Amino acid sequence: MDMDDDACYRAFQTRDARFDGRIFCGVKTTGIYCRPICPARTPKRENMTFHRSAAAAQEAGFRPCLRCRPETSPDLGSWRGTSNTVSRALALIEAGAMDIGDVDALAGRLGVGERQLRRLFQQHVGASPVAVAQTRRVLLAKQLLHETRLPMAEVALAAGFGSVRRFNETFQQLFRRPPGALRRLGGAEIAAGEGGAATIRLPYRAPYDWPAMLAFLTARAIPGVEVVANGRYARTLTVGDARGVVMVEPGEGAYLKVTLRFPKVQAWPAIIAKVRRVFDLAADPAIIEAHLSEDPDLAPLVAARPGLRAPGAWDGFELSVRAVLGQQITVHAARQLAGKISAAYGEPLLDEAANQLGLTQFFPTPERLATVDVETLAMPRARGRALVGLAAAAAADPDLFGTRRSLDEAVAALRALPGIGEWTAQYIAMRALREPDAFPSADIGLMRALETPDGVRPTPAELLIRAERWRPWRAYAASHLWAADPKNPSETKHAQAA
């Protein structure tokens, strides 16, 4: 947004919730930074500075407010469309890139120079990549202190701090008090269980079409790996060498309740990042829907589904396997086949409580599937060879499904893999790489949703031309078209992808 100071001040004067997550103010007289909805009295105009992000405010020397709790504001990505490089950099930072590397390494992965990346961050975020990474760690730790009863050492590790000493030093410098004092101030709202388990709240910009998200995930849930019941989604998950269970359900406000059952708390930042991406919590529906509504054909679909998100994927390899399995068969048949493969080659889940929910195993690793004899797979041999070849490629390159410099580069890299064609590559880019402009134009469901009253459907080429006006949010247009598909998702066949 345009950082007009007078407009920003009016947003704080009126406590306008529409700007929550978009701007933060630093108060010179107190040294703290706040959200527009902070219940404290609005400071004088001359004592306020305005910042594009929490990281920018923190880098300017302000500390988070203990009343409005900036860590609970929506982590909006509305501005990301103005810089794909920044968007991809933020995704990498959220996944832990700055925990194992520096800014130069991050810039190298994005194909830009270090100085260029720093300049883009200052322009679009108002803070450096290092400040963004540090702010994420601090705010996550602060949230865990407020919302769980995890021991201090586990809070430090779960937030991404390398040591408890560094954790204590950072909080002492920033808040002028030890972490334990913040917990006593905030109290523990949500109890943590034993063995690295806790429930936290992840905010979003309302509205949020939870029924549509749940319906999409239900139709594609892999038996034994994913379960949807009583309005709650649960699944087994492997992140690095950490394994456990994650459960997601709607909260009573504009947030999702996320329960993590992972004994290795160091994996929590990466898991939380995956939850945000799968459930698309960084989207600003107002901006996206206003753009898509300019198309008279999409306008009624957008109006019928306010807050519709573009579902992400937990793992690029898992999604790619699902996409290959789904070529020319129904979504229901593909999920059943994925369940059989998981039962045969995935590691069992030894958790009685989770087993009672229907979660019995983890999805197979690329290393395991790469060793499978194609002749033993209950599918056409060509597809079986593509599946095993895909697994071998993923096992050889852990970053195979990582962030690329551009959508075109990502699609080109994916199309070079066994069994991956244009449709599959666009679908993977849309869900696993979270490319907001990815668009599988050959999808039957998309063409069917735009069928005219006399039964004429657009061709893939015609649909691609038509979708030009939907940029840079074509993935969201696809989500609206899928939601409007006159046939049940379980009956939808994928278009030819190989």
Phi, psi of 34 (to 5 degrees): -130, 165
Is the separation of the CB atoms in 350 and 362 below 8 Å? no
Q: How far is CA 442 from CA 3, 59, 308, 459, 460, in A?
A: 41, 46, 22, 8, 5
Rounded (to 5) percent helix, strand, coil in the chain = 50, 10, 40
Map residue 93 onto helix, strand or coil. helix
Total number of residues shown for the chain: 498
Q: Which of 8, 25, 34, 68 is catalytic?
A: 34
Q: How many CB atoms lie within 10 A of CB 31?
A: 11
Q: What are the tokens at 24?
A: 């933060």
Residue 454 annotated as catalytic:
no
Peptide bond into 348 cis (omega under 30): no
In SS3 terms, 144-182 reads as HHHHCCCCHHHHHHHCCCCCHHHHHHHHHHHHCCCHHHH
Which helix (H) or strand (E) segment holds residue 249: the answer is strand 242-250
Q: How many CB atoms lie within 10 A of CB 291?
A: 19
What is the spatial distance between Cα 479 and Cα 256, in angstroms, rounded to a whole number? 20
Is the separation of the CB atoms in 260 and 271 below 8 Å? yes
CA–CA–CA angle 165, 168, 170 (5° rounding): 105
The DSSP annotation for 182-240 comes to HHHHH--SS--BTTTEEEEEEE-PSP--HHHHHHHHHHHPPTTTEEEETTEEEEEEEET
Q: Which of 20, 280, 315, 443 is catalytic?
A: 443
Map residue 111 onto helix, strand or coil. coil
Phi, psi of 393 (to 5 degrees): -65, -40
Is the separation of the CB atoms in 208 and 307 below 8 Å? yes
- For 315-328, b/e burial (b = at least 16 CB within 10 A) is bbbbbbbbbbbbbe
Residue 34 annotated as catalytic:
yes
Looking at residue 189, its amino acid is: E
Residues known to be catalytic: 34, 443
